[in-house]
Structure 1
Amino acid sequence: MRPIEFRAQNINGAWVFGNFNILKEKLGNVTVGNVTAGSYISNSAGAPFAYKVRPETVSQFTGLTDENGKKIFEGDIVEIIEIDAFGNLDWNRLKGKVMFSEGAWLVTDNRSFAIPLWSEINEIKVIGNIHENPELL
């Protein structure tokens, strides 16, 4: 079973990792910090040890890592090198974003291809994400 983990940019632009929560109202008895309604990434201790994040940057961990051991998250831009039917490398080199659709993690360019993240891909490398590097697509 894959670990459930999220990442998002906090309000200062730094990436934070952990559990994701949405607070619909201020926590009345919290005395540390200013915990207001909003989206938060927290460590295992939870509130008040949490970072307020930009909701549009929240992404979930796929449970997979790239060729360098880097965790792959939804919204990452990856480069993949597929192998052909004869086992030849560099047969097809593609760049796409990671997304979840119809019960599966996919890599897609939103135009010409959508392949399962764990298909016959020989190599996969995270090269950026859609929030900081949209020009890579």
Structure 2
Amino acid sequence: MREIEFRAKVKRSLQLEQIKNGWIHGGIFENKIISRNTNEGSICAGFCSKVEIMPETVGQFTGLTDKNGKKIFEGDIVEIIEIDAFGNLDWNRLKGKVMFSEGAWLVTDNRSFAIPLWSEINEIKVIGNIHENPELLEVSE
């Protein structure tokens, strides 16, 4: 069974060790992320804290990681480098956002193109997210 986890940007600056660069991970309930401190050396080990979040930034964990082992969340911007039949890299590059649609995790390039996320998992890299790096998806004309 895959891990159920969400990620969201916190509404205001808090000094909790579960918050990394303004983002918190955990379960979600009523626009709050329920995060558990898993640092056993901490005085708060096992303590759950509710943190108010920006609902528009919530993204679910896909259950997959990129080629560097980084967790892939809904709303991430990824780069896929396809390999040709001869094993050459850079044959085709695609940048797109991760989204959930019709029962599947997809990568879409903001136009009509979408591919299943799992089909490209060996050559995919998280390069940002739509909330902090929307310019990564801009198409030059």
TM-score of Structure 1 vs Structure 2, range by shorter chain: 0.7 to 0.9
Q: Which runs of 5+ in 2 are unaligned?
A: 14-21, 37-45
Number of residue pairs matched by the alignment: 120
- Structure whose alpha-carbon radius of gyration is higher: 1
Cα 1:105–1:111 change in 2 (3 A) is same
Q: In the alignment, which of 10, 13, 28 is matched to residue 20 of structure 1?
A: 28
| Alignment match, 1:55 | 55
| Alignment match, 1:128 | 128
Q: Structure 2-normalised TM-score?
A: 0.78
% same residue: 76
Counterparts of 1:107 and 1:72, CA distance in 2: 11
| Alignment match, 1:101 | 101
The root-mean-square deviation of aligned C-alpha atoms, in Å, is 1.8
Bigger helix share: 2
Q: Structure 1 residue runs of 4+, over 4 Å off?
A: 44-47
* 1:83–1:121 CA contact under 8 A, matched in 2: no
* 1:82–1:121 CA contact under 8 A, matched in 2: no
Q: Structure 1-normalised TM-score?
A: 0.80
Deviation at 1:12, TM superposition (A): 2.1
SS in 1 for 2:11: coil
